[in-house]
Amino acid sequence: MGQHQFNKTNRWRKTSSATHLLTFLRQTEPETREIYRAAEVFQTTLQVLKTRAKQRYKREVMTPELLSWEDVERIAELSKCLPATHPDVCQHSHLNKYRTISGLCNNRQNPLWGAANTPLVRWLPAEYEDGEREPKGWNRGQLHNGVQLPSPREISKKILSSSSKTEEDTYSQLLVEWGQYIGHDISFTPQSTGSAAPGSSVDCLNTCQNVHPCFPIEGGDVLSGGQGCMPFYRSTPACPVKLGPDSSENLQRQQLNSITSFIDASVVYGHTSKLESFLRDLSGLNGKLAVNTLFEDPKGRPYLPFRVDCFRAGDSRVNEVMTLITLHTLWLREHNRIAEVLKQINAHWSPETIYQETRKIIGALHQIITMRDYVPKIIGKESFEQYIGPYGGYDPTVDPSASNVFATAAFRFGHATISPILRRLNESFQEHELFRHLRLHNTFFSPWRIVKEGGIEPVLRGIIGSAAPAIGANSLVAEEVTERLVVLNVPQYVDLASLNLQRGRDHALPGYNSWRAFCGLNSIKTLDDLKEVVRDHRVAENILELYKHPDNIDVWLGGLVENLLPGSRTGPLFACLIGKQMKTLRDGDRFWWEAEGVFTEQQKSELFKASVSRIICDNSDIKEVPADSFRISKFPSDYVTCGHIPSMNLEAWREEESRGGL
């Protein structure tokens, strides 16, 4: 612990509770902001014209009825919101060796597929209230299937929020944490901020009216900040990917994914050159990532670098919870460890080659751990075979972009698996004497706790040494996140379950039944049908009582309460949607670790030896681990020493000097 620490500590004390600190967190990159400002101008212009037309003709008028395609193109041009042109640089041979940082050109025919700052794709058409951009629930009093939609906060309180969670007996907390971590490699949907909407002077924190970009959540309770509703910012719109008579879908509001959808360790390296440069140790000439220059852990191991007083990593959500910081820190260390070994093996490699080769390995490890160790436990072995199956090589016809329903509903299944307690364990895997367990809300945006409270080890032991919460139909989303969640730009507690439901409506996701049909599952027509598929009869009754019509059930809620498939943590709908998405992320990725020509056979067999347990052994003070850290094991009887955990032999990366690097 350096002497700097104490000065820094005071600074933390003063600022950690201040809301302005939050503006440094979950921040979107300037590139993303520019894109969504243009999209806001474009969408707002169309909206204004549409509203005028509605007043005049006394009915809903769709944009193609109102404007010619030339008009639309002109508006897009003036808004600087033209479809992104395809760069014709994708044939360059240097794009064969390593991924671009933005994901561009992964697919040579469709360079934007899976790239950062492209729209979330639709697997089913959007269902806006006005057909184009007003979400369901926007026009109060508007009926859906003859009834009004229930308020997300009411649904949350009556069905989702739970004060207790039981533990399950198979998996460790790592299964939950890996879900959040890898979700942050796949999608990040940026939100508009109050100032983003051109010409709008409305402050979303102080209004209960639906005025772009504010879509406040009604429900007059304690979370409403005294004004009767909870603030909510709509997700930013995307610019159209195509304009022309056959692309009316592009005139509908679409949402952005600001990061690469590929499982490419963008969580570690970022998704823009600027961020990547910040994260690299360019002056060290060693291919490593930059580390924190003010603090290191008690054993001299590095922390993530700071920006202001928060950690900075490839994904801006890193500070949200201490468990995320812990996983990010492990990967930073693993990069630097591998880079060092590769430099020893290939002394002739340039720093750039060391960096890129290490990045390639780290990307592959993210893919292996996700697809081999994580996904089958989530959707079950049978669904894995049904929706994903064995690898058959790169398929350039597959679009690997994240789908809207995956990011906005299916992969948020994880919110029902959040533990209300963060366990911090000592070397005997008992509650730490100095750093006690914490209620989850005390771990939000608390990077200082890692530095001041024993480094990552107490949290890491808690992640592998405590059981994941069981998923019960009547104990769904922990009160720690329905009553005490902290998010960017909102200086009061918010409710994650309400945000998820409102987000689904904001994005115009079709209802639960439409998605069941998409997955070939039967339609729910009656209470008895619902009772068949939902784990708990009382929950099924409550749902129909609130929604009144089964077609209105929000997809996130419906998916969440389904009977779990055997040996899985999801019901049939989410297993289908997650399975389909994972398949596209694998088959549509030219750099998938198993794709031909990406790694040699020998390298592949080394990569396959990797595991989270090994990464913990190599990059922390923990020297006894479970053989499989995703499974809960008894300490010490079922733990093994690190010497028994297989590790990659990086000799497989040795290259003759003549073949050179970059």
SS3 state of residue 255: strand
Q: Does 552 bind ligand HEM (CB under 6 A)?
A: no
Q: Is residue 4 part of an annotated ligand binding site? A: no
Q: Please choose, out of 39-47, 407-415, 555-563, 577-585, the segment that lies near ligand HEM by the rule CB under 6 A.
A: 407-415
> Could you tell me the CA-to-CA distances from 21 to 43, 319, 320 in Å, in that order?
31, 11, 12
Site string for Ca ion, 149-188 (x = CB under 5 A): ------------------------------------x---
Strand ranges inside 298-426, DSSP E = 306-307, 310-311, 421-422
Q: Does 320 bind ligand HEM (CB under 6 A)?
A: yes
- Our CB check for ligand HEM shows the closer of 188 and 349 to be 188
When binding is defined by CB under 6 A, the residue of 161, 180, 319, 611 that contacts ligand HEM is 180
Q: Are 502 and 152 in contact (CB under 8 A)?
A: yes
Q: Please choose, out of 10-18, 99-107, 413-421, 448-456, the segment that lies near ligand HEM by the rule CB under 6 A.
A: 413-421
Site string for ligand HEM, 415-444 (x = CB under 6 A): x-xx---------------------x----
- Our CB check for Ca ion shows the closer of 264 and 480 to be 264
SS3 state of residue 601: helix
Site string for ligand HEM, 187-216 (x = CB under 6 A): xxx---------------------------
- Residue 438 host element (H or E): strand 438-439
Residue type at 461? R
> Could you tell me the CA-to-CA distances from 184 to 74, 106, 374, 411, 519 in Å, in that order?
36, 19, 15, 11, 25
Let me know if 507 is a catalytic residue: no
- Residue 44 host element (H or E): helix 30-57
The residue sitting closest to Ca ion, measured at its beta carbon, is: 266
Query: What is the Cα–Cα distance from 441 to 450, expressed in whole angstroms?
Result: 15
When binding is defined by CB under 6 A, the residue of 487, 564, 582, 607 that contacts ligand HEM is 487
DSSP characters over 107-149: SSSSTTTT-TTEEPBPSS----TTSSSPPTTSSTT--BTTBPP
When binding is defined by CB under 6 A, the residue of 126, 263, 275, 481 that contacts ligand HEM is 481
Q: Residue 322 binds which one of ligand HEM, Ca ion, none, with CB within 5 to 8 A depending on kind?
A: none
CB of 52 to Ca ion, least distance (A): 41
When binding is defined by CB under 5 A, the residue of 224, 260, 323, 482 that contacts Ca ion is 260
- Our CB check for Ca ion shows the closer of 185 and 276 to be 185
Best CA proximity match to 402, nearest among 582, 252, 191, 273:
582
- Residue 606 host element (H or E): helix 601-607
Please report how the helices 457-465 and 612-619 are oriented relative to each other, as an axis angle in degrees rounded to 10.
160
- Our CB check for ligand HEM shows the closer of 179 and 287 to be 179
Given 86, 184, 271, 335, the catalytic residue: 184
Q: Please choose, out of 92-100, 353-361, 414-422, 642-650, the segment that lies near ligand HEM by the rule CB under 6 A.
A: 414-422
Residue type at 394? Y
Query: What is the Cα–Cα distance from 474 to 434, expressed in whole angstroms?
Result: 35
Buried b (16+ CB within 10 A) or exposed e, 527-564: bebbbebbbbeebbebbbebbeebebbbbbbbbbbbeb
Query: Which residue positions form the known binding site for heme b?
Result: 415
The catalytic site residues sit at 184
User: Could you list the residues that contact ligand HEM (CB under 6 A)?
Assistant: 176, 179-180, 183, 187-189, 320-321, 407, 411-412, 414-415, 417-418, 440, 481, 487, 496, 499, 503
